[in-house]
Amino acid sequence: MPNGPLIVQSDKSILLEVGHPQAEDARRAIAPFAELERAPEHVHTYRLTPLGLWNARAAGMDAESAVNVLIEYSRFPVPHTLLVDIAETMARYGRLTLAQHPVHGLVLIAHDPAVLAEVLASKRTAGLVGARVDEDTVIVHPSERGNLKQALMKLGWPAEDRAGYVDGEAHAIALREIDPAAGTAWSLRPYQSHAVDSFTAGGSGVVVLPCGAGKTIVGAASMAQVSATTLILVTNTVSARQWRDELLRRTSLSDDEIGEYSGTRKDVRPVTIATYQVLTARRGGTYTHLELLDARDWGLIIYDEVHLLPAPIFRMTANLQARRRLGLTATLVREDGREDEVFSLIGPKRFDAPWKDIEAQGYIAPADCTEIRFTLSDADRLVYAVAEREDKYRLAASAPRKTAIVRQLLDRHAGEPTLVIGQYLEQLEEIANTVDAPLITGKTPVKERQRLFDAFRSGEVSTLVVSKVANFSIDLPEATIAIQVSGSFGSRQEEAQRLGRVMRPKRDARSAHFYTIVARDTVDQEFAAHRQRFLAEQGYAYSIVDAEDL
């Protein structure tokens, strides 16, 4: 009788015994189609969801492969009903296809007339489709391509979009063979080449790579493949400047060919880098900068940190389905549950590299994750106990004891490049004053942020205290230690991004250290457990240490 590490259950949950000799192999095998729900010490719980199975199907995995993984690693016979459900769920993807008809233009084609009948009878598709061409085909107005894909996703019939894309305005872009900064030859890493090939074969979709694995380079290589005008959407101005620097370094683009569209500049060039913030800024109830989307005949739109897309960008993207779209992210997790909109509007996941695989290849640093737990003082416990529910996390996360623990950790790692990361500004100000380190928040001017980041990179400053502005797209390869004192409640993607700040490979091959300081027996501890789920899915284990034992 098999004695595998998985227990597969008919309620679509999968239990993984962490201590089993085959646990790591099983975890990697189920990761493409199963989502981690809980990750306590000994048994992790995964869940099979339609979106996870459809993403796997869009990436080329068939139902037989998913079923075989479960059978191979399951300790007990896999329920037959579950195997049937997997096959039927994955078969729903592609039963409807969007394509170009030689006479009627954009059409929706059904490979099962009953599915088309069900879709057309739904109120969700009313006004999105036109006349029937035949029993299997219905006309779709080009402007409704994105809205229809959203509606079909909600109905449980995700369409495969084969309608193609406009070429956009051609613009020559090539990758450099020599890195001018280092004066040495360079080439794409194997997984980067695979990611670019997977994207270009699909035309639109999402590439998932660990922080520090070179997502920007994948974007640059995709631009070179398309060789057309490109609009790049990023999280903030610092990220925009880093994209610009990397494009100048890695591609044939000149400074005059790259424009920045942000709060301080409004330059539209063949390659334009815009911030989400400026695009979603309102004046008088209208989005005043949406004309950027029509400013040129874009051939490619890149969404950096696609898991952070604000709602207005989703709505804009629904109208951009004729443009090639590339989403870049370290994790497709969205705390607002809108992963299905990323799938339908940006495209399915085209490439996903497990963090531990990239680490094993030496392209990101190995990392040790430690949760340091402490008990609130009697006075703080009493204040916490009687506080309103909405105040409890702030009180626990900002407990004064955390500042003392930060100081202990800085003493332990004296001289090592360290980031202290948190959510609450008063807490961060107190820590920065106590340890005599610079503080970077959303209020810090961009020029000052860049100065401090440069000082950190050069070693002039060894410790930075940073708010959530440093969660994303900040390239600090020298950072070795991250100390997290508070966060955005139970955000899994934020946890992954923060660990990513210290995962750039180190010159001396040192491991990175990621510390989370947590108040015991509070919602701080509950949120910490939830935050760690994505990283546990990637194979990172948290050791738990009592603050008294530091």
**3-state secondary structure string, 148-178?**
HHHHHHHCCCCCEECCCCCCCCECCCCECCE
Same domain? For 327 and 460 the reply is: no
340 with 93: CB under 8 angstroms? no
In a domain, 85, yes or no: yes
Same domain? For 538 and 408 the reply is: yes
In a domain, 1, yes or no: no
32 with 320: CB under 8 angstroms? no
In a domain, 166, yes or no: no
Q: Is 518 helix (H, G, I), strand (E, B) or coil?
A: strand
- Write down how long the chain is: 550
Same domain? For 270 and 227 the reply is: yes
In a domain, 355, yes or no: yes
Instruction: Among 92, 121, 136, give the residue marking a domain's end.
Output: 92
Report d(CA 504, CA 506) in Å as an integer: 6
Same domain? For 339 and 432 the reply is: no
Same domain? For 126 and 15 the reply is: no
Report d(CA 53, CA 78) in Å as an integer: 17
**Owner of token pair 């969801």:** 49
Q: What is the distance, to the nearest Å, from the Cα of residue 129 to the centroid of all Cα atoms in its chain?
A: 33
pLDDT of residue 537: 76
In a domain, 172, yes or no: no
Instruction: Among 46, 70, 92, give the residue marking a domain's end.
Output: 92
**Owner of token pair 């109905």:** 155
Same domain? For 88 and 100 the reply is: no
Report d(CA 406, CA 397) in Å as an integer: 13
- Helix axes 446-458 and 237-250, enclosed angle (nearest 10): 60
Same domain? For 226 and 112 the reply is: no
The amino acid sitting at 266 is K
Report d(CA 423, CA 491) in Å as an integer: 12
Report d(CA 8, CA 76) in Å as an integer: 8
Report d(CA 330, CA 454) in Å as an integer: 24
Q: Which domain holds residue 13?
A: 6-92
Which positions of the chain have pLDDT values less than 50? 1
Same domain? For 187 and 100 the reply is: no
Residues paired with residue 208 on neighbouring β-strands, in sequence order: 329, 352
Q: Which two tokens stand for residue 367?
A: 């990392």
In a domain, 543, yes or no: yes
Report d(CA 332, CA 55) in Å as an integer: 11
In a domain, 432, yes or no: yes
What CATH number is associated with residue 448? 3.40.50.300
Instruction: Among 335, 359, 383, give the residue marking a domain's end.
Output: 359
533 with 541: CB under 8 angstroms? no
pLDDT of residue 331: 83
Same domain? For 376 and 435 the reply is: yes
Q: What is the distance, to the nearest Å, from the Cα of residue 519 to the centroid of all Cα atoms in its chain?
A: 28
Same domain? For 421 and 458 the reply is: yes
pLDDT of residue 81: 95
Q: How many domains does the chain have?
A: 4
Same domain? For 397 and 325 the reply is: no
282 with 305: CB under 8 angstroms? no
The amino acid sitting at 93 is Y
Q: Which residues contact 386 (CB under 8 A, 6 or more apart)?
A: none
Q: Which residues contact 248 (CB under 8 A, 6 or more apart)?
A: 254, 255, 258
Same domain? For 157 and 191 the reply is: no
428 with 453: CB under 8 angstroms? no
pLDDT of residue 1: 46
In a domain, 447, yes or no: yes
**Owner of token pair 């994750």:** 369
Report d(CA 253, CA 451) in Å as an integer: 25
Residues paired with residue 43 on neighbouring β-strands, in sequence order: 17
pLDDT of residue 501: 84
